[in-house]
Amino acid sequence: MQSNNKGYGVIVWLITLVVIAGIAAAGWYVFIREEKATTSPGTSQTASGDEQAVSFATPKKSAHFESSTPVHAATLPAVPVDVVIDFNFDLAANSEIKIIKDGKDYGVGDKTIDSNKLSMRRQMDKNAPDGIYTVEYKACWPDGSCHDGMHQFAIDSKLQSSYQDMRGQSSLTIKLSDIKFQPRSVIISTGTKITWINDDEVTHYVNTDSHPAHTHVLDLNSKALSKGDSFSYTFSKTGAYPYHCSAHADQMTATIVVI
């Protein structure tokens, strides 16, 4: 009888080890999945709604960096009008911007510094292909010091297939309604005049990115718009124009593509 009890004890002990090992393995599996979830590449949606992997490097922010357009890890449906970087300190003339893909600089011409000296910008080749671009910049200050920085964005022209094609129209109206831009994503021709009208009871704005610098397209910034107020802008340059309402910047965003 004592031998049988010992046998049962060994069996119970073995079963306990198997259960503990199973729990440990399950816990490790969950841990690995969570680690992968936090370190895997990001995803963006194609125009058809399918997800695709988009992997961006960790950005490097120079001293006095504030914001950029495009923002790091953004995926745009077309080449941005300009690449703009904003700072909270006066820029010196020897500051630089490069827009790199596969070792080639797709920047056009030299960088320019805005009149307030807090933003610098550079145009981008309008024929630049889809893919991930690395913005490498050198921000220099009046004291002679310079600091490097880097961020990335992507271009995916397939996203345009989900946009409303409004090309060929000389004018277009976008309503600010239900805390949304309606329509939100449109393609227009150069020379098109868009008028935004506030249909909501709350105050809205039409502001170019980034937030709160609003420097991407300096004239694409309205005053406060109460119900019934309007703001107009005529688009003369091709490219992607991301914009937002600064009063509802987290949820009220849109993009216009000019072709």
What distance lies between CA 124 and its chain's CA centroid? 17
Residue 111: what residue type? K
Strand ranges across the sheet with 74-76: 74-76, 146-155, 131-140, 96-101, 104-105
104's tokens: 């080639």
Provide the 8-state DSSP code for 55.
Answer: -
User: In sequence order, what DSSP letters do the residues of 126-185 get, joined into one string?
Assistant: TTPPSEEEEEEEEEE-TTS-EEEEEEEEEE-GGGGGGSEE-TT-SEEEEEEETTEEES-E
Main-chain dihedrals φ then ψ at residue 192, nearest 5 degrees? -75, 135
Is the bond preceding 210 in cis, omega lying within 30 degrees of 0? yes
Q: What is the pLDDT along the chain (259 residues), one digit of tens a residue?
A: 444 555 555 454 555 554 444 434 433 333 332 223 222 244 444 433 344 568 999 999 999 999 999 999 999 999 999 999 999 999 999 999 999 999 999 999 999 999 999 999 999 999 999 999 999 999 999 999 999 999 999 999 999 999 999 999 999 999 999 999 999 999 999 999 999 999 999 999 999 999 999 999 999 999 999 999 999 999 999 999 999 999 999 999 999 999 9
Count how many Cα atoms sit within 13 Å of the Cα of residue 120 in the half-sphere of its side chain. 25
Q: Between 3.40.390.10, 3.90.550.10, 3.40.930.10, 2.60.40.420, what CATH number should domain 163-258 receive? A: 2.60.40.420
Q: Which CATH architecture has domain 51-158?
A: Sandwich (2.60)
d(CA 78, CA 34): 34
Q: Is 125 exposed, middle or buried (0-12, 13-18, 19+ CB in 10 A)?
A: middle
The whole-number pLDDT of residue 54 equals 80
Angle in degrees, CA 191, 195, 200, rounded to 5: 160
The whole-number pLDDT of residue 61 equals 97
Give residue for tokens 């910047």: 249
The whole-number pLDDT of residue 95 equals 98
d(CA 241, CA 128): 16
d(CA 256, CA 46): 17
Would you list the domain boundaries of the chain? 1-40, 51-158, 163-258
163-258 and 51-158 share a CATH fold: yes
d(CA 122, CA 62): 18
